[in-house]
Amino acid sequence: MKSVLDLKKLKDNKSKIKMVTCYDHWTAKILGQTEVDCLLVGDSLSMVVHGFDSTVHATLEMMTLHTAAVARAKTEKLIVSDLPFLAHRKGKKYLMDAADALMKAGAQALKIETQPGQEKWVRYLVDSGVPVVGHVGLTPQYVNQLGGYKVQGKKAEDYQKILKHSLDLEKAGASALVLECVPSPLATEITHDLSIPTIGIGAGQDVDGQVLVLQDLLGMDTQFKPRFVRQFAQGEKWLKDSIGGYTEAVEKGSFPSREESFQ
């Protein structure tokens, strides 16, 4: 899959969209051999890979570097990259330079976190030839205003705001929407009202697809288990056990063996 049009086809065919985050080359090569449809080079890489406490720290340089590493795996998966914090607030030239850098690095669409009233930036990108994925509900780049990573749209007024913003993003030309941490009835209503696909994370079942941070679904951090994450593997244990096997073999002198050495 190489274009956002394929996401729409999946919605129309009632097939679920499967998206995961991917930040590096070797993981992209493996994911290229799976059934996922779409690799998200998410700005969550600032937390997962670089150890920052929020996505506010993801820079354009980081996003470009990781996008290029993923793209060099040359998979058939659609690559969506995040526009970093404030990209659409630094003026048109900065937004265009950022979009240019990410698309040239290998992204096929860009994801942008917006608030109501900022849809014109989506229209501007789309009119410039950049396919856009919107992101509503819990928008982590706004964490300092939201006062934490909390479910959004619980109050009637916020519910209506998110619903209207979603409709406005579709009108502005967005090709798909990520719905993060919103009540399931809101996600259902948005999915029903929009003709573009919705991809949920903490948004329940009635959406057109799901996205998870890869390290969360692999169970790489047993300390981090929010309600919406299912750990499909015990990655942390697998990594520790593998390294345990290696260190023990080195300590005992059983690695390398004669066959693993040059005679």
CB contact set of 146 (below 8 Å; sequence gap of 6+):
138, 139, 152
Binding of ligand KIV by 211 (CB under 6 A): yes
Binding residue (CB under 6 A) for ligand KIV from 27, 44, 141, 152: 44
**180 catalytic per annotation:** yes
Residue whose beta carbon is closest to ligand KIV: 42
Looking at the Cβ atoms of 75 and 139, the one nearer to ligand KIV is: 139
Looking at the Cβ atoms of 194 and 213, the one nearer to ligand KIV is: 213
Sequence length of the chain is: 263
Binding of ligand KIV by 37 (CB under 6 A): no
Catalytic residue among 113, 119, 170, 180: 180
Q: How many residues bind ligand KIV (CB under 6 A)?
A: 11
Instruction: Scan for tokens 């096997």, then name that residue.
Output: 245
Q: How far is the CB of 139 from ligand KIV (least distance, A)?
A: 9
Binding of ligand KIV by 201 (CB under 6 A): yes
Q: How far is the CB of 39 from ligand KIV (least distance, A)?
A: 11
Kindly write out the interface string for residues 172-191 of this chain, putting x where it contacts ligand KIV by CB under 6 A and - elsewhere.
------x-x-----------
> Contact region for ligand KIV (CB under 6 A) — 39-47, 60-68, 115-123, 152-160?
39-47
Looking at the Cβ atoms of 59 and 247, the one nearer to ligand KIV is: 59
Give the CA distances from residue 200 to residues 36, 121, 254, 262, in Å, rounded to whole numbers and listed in that order.
Answer: 15, 22, 48, 52
Q: How far is the CB of 185 from ligand KIV (least distance, A)?
A: 20
Q: How far is the CB of 46 from ligand KIV (least distance, A)?
A: 9
Which residues contact ligand KIV by CB under 6 A?
A: 21, 40, 42-44, 82, 178, 180, 201, 211, 213
Residues classed as catalytic = 180
